[in-house]
């Protein structure tokens, strides 16, 4: 479940006529980002505008999306990419003596810790910026979390959670012709 609070921040884009930019013309960092954009557009009436609602520069970094008073970051946790040292090698080496379930729980806990740390860092970046300091930051790390976000913020009826997850996977495949890695 996505927990959020309304910030009361006015949306400078509300009521504005934005140019129609096809999602396919944007430059995406990943297939997942493409899927997020397509679903935000379909269910939340999100309009892609580079630098304003898409790839928003905040400090020395970028946030993936802005939907009203919310900055959205889609960042799946991959342990092999999160560790900056050989610590993962040591964890995996030590965990080989654990049964499968305990090893899975250990790695899930480590990934969960990285997820929380990432969300905290992103919130700090936004809080330090004079323009974005009052916006809510939502970090999502899985298609399941993104589907829950869509169900929470959709302005038109969204399908069931599992159907949204299937759509996310389908859009990732569709994005292969658009996303250039």
For the stretch 13-58, pLDDT in tens is: 555 555 667 778 788 989 999 999 999 999 999 999 999 999 999 9
Domain ranges of the chain: 28-177
Query: Which pTM was predicted?
Result: 0.81
Give the strand pairing for 61-67 and 70-74: antiparallel
- CB 85, CB 79: distance < 8 Å: no
Q: What percent of the chain has pLDDT over 90?
A: 60
Which pLDDT does position 20 carry in this prediction? 67
Average pLDDT over residues 125-145: 96
**Does the structure show a pLDDT above 60 at 10?**
no
**Which position has the higher pLDDT, 88 or 46?**
46
pLDDT at 107: 83
* Structure-token pair, residue 99: 């049964």
């Amino acid at each position: 479940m996505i927990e959020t609070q309304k910030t009361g921040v006015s949306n400078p884009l509300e009521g504005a006529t934005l140019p129609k930019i096809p999602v396919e013309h944007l430059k995406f960092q990943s297939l997942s980002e493409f899927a997020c954009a397509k679903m935000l557009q379909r269910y939340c009436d999100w309009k892609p505008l580079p630098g304003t609602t898409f790839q928003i520069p905040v400090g020395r970094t970028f946030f993936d999306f802005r939907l009203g008073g919310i900055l959205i970051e889609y960042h799946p946790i991959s342990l092999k990419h999160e560790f900056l040292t050989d610590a993962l090698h040591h964890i995996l080496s030590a965990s080989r003596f654990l049964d499968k379930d305990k090893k899975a729980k250990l790695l899930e806990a480590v990934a969960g810790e990285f997820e929380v740390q990432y969300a905290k860092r992103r919130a700090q970046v936004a809080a330090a910026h004079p323009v974005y300091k009052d916006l809510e930051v939502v970090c999502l790390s899985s298609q399941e979390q993104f589907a829950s976000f869509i169900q929470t913020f959709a302005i038109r009826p969204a399908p069931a959670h599992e159907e949204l997850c299937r759509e996310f996977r389908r859009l990732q495949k569709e994005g292969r012709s658009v996303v250039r890695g």
